[in-house]
Amino acid sequence: MYNFNDIKGNEQIIKNLRSMIYNNKLSHSYIIDAPKGAGKKLIANSFAKAIQCENIKSANLEETVNACNSCVSCRTFDGGNHTDVIYVNSEKGKVIGVEDIREQVGKNIELKPYKYQYKIFIIDNADSMTVQAQNALLKTIEEPPNYGIFILLSENYNNFLPTILSRCVIFKLKSLEFDVVFEYIKNNLNIDSTEAYVFASYAQGNIGKAVEMATSERFTEVRSMVLKFIEDFYKKDFIDIFSEVSVFEDFKEDINMVLDILYLCYRDMIVLKCLSNGSEIIIQKDKKKLFKNILENFSSEHLFYGAEAVFSAKRRLALHSNFQMTIENLLLKLKEKR
The model's pLDDT over 244-279, given as tens digits with 9 standing for 90+, comes to 888 899 999 999 889 999 999 999 999 999 998 888
25 has pLDDT over 70: yes
Cα 20 from Cα 62, distance rounded (Å) = 9
pLDDT tens figures, 286-319: 888 888 888 887 888 999 999 999 999 999 998 8
**Strand intervals (E) in the chain:** 29-33, 85-88, 119-123, 148-154, 169-172
Inter-CA distances, 31 with 13, 153, 156, Å: 12, 6, 10
Beta bridge partners of 29: 150
Confidence of residue 338 (pLDDT cuts 50, 70, 90): low
Residue 48 in contact with residue 85, Cβ under 8 Å?
yes
Residue 233 in contact with residue 335, Cβ under 8 Å?
yes
| Averaged pLDDT for residues 38-64 | 89
Identify the burial level of 147 via C-beta atoms within 10 angstroms of its C-beta, where 0-12 means exposed, 13-18 middle and 19 or more buried: middle
| Averaged pLDDT for residues 134-139 | 94
Most confident of 49-63, 128-142, 235-249: 128-142
Predicted pLDDT of residue 244: 83
Predicted pLDDT of residue 113: 92
Residue 9 in contact with residue 38, Cβ under 8 Å?
no
Q: What is the 3-state secondary structure (H, E, C) of 186-217?
A: HHHCCCCHHHHHHHHHHHCCCHHHHHHHHCCH
| Per-position DSSP letters for 123-152, written without gaps between them | ETTGGG--HHHHHHHHHHHHS--TTEEEEE
Confidence of residue 75 (pLDDT cuts 50, 70, 90): very high
Predicted pLDDT of residue 26: 94
First-to-last alpha carbon distance for the chain, in angstroms, is 56
Cα 214 from Cα 163, distance rounded (Å) = 40
Cα 174 from Cα 181, distance rounded (Å) = 13
Task: With CA atoms as reference, report the closest residue to 1 among 76, 69, 47, 71.
Answer: 69
CATH topology of domain 4-172: Rossmann fold (3.40.50)
CATH topology of domain 216-335: Zinc Finger, Delta Prime; domain 3 (1.20.272)
% of the chain with per-residue pLDDT over 90 = 56
Predicted pLDDT of residue 3: 86
Confidence of residue 337 (pLDDT cuts 50, 70, 90): low
> What one-letter code names the amino acid at 328?
E
52 has pLDDT over 90: yes
| Per-position DSSP letters for 150-196, written without gaps between them | EEEEES-GGGS-HHHHTTSEEEEPPPPPHHHHHHHHHHHTT--HHHH
Where do you find CATH 3.40.50.300 in the chain? 4-172
Where do you find CATH 1.20.272.10 in the chain? 216-335
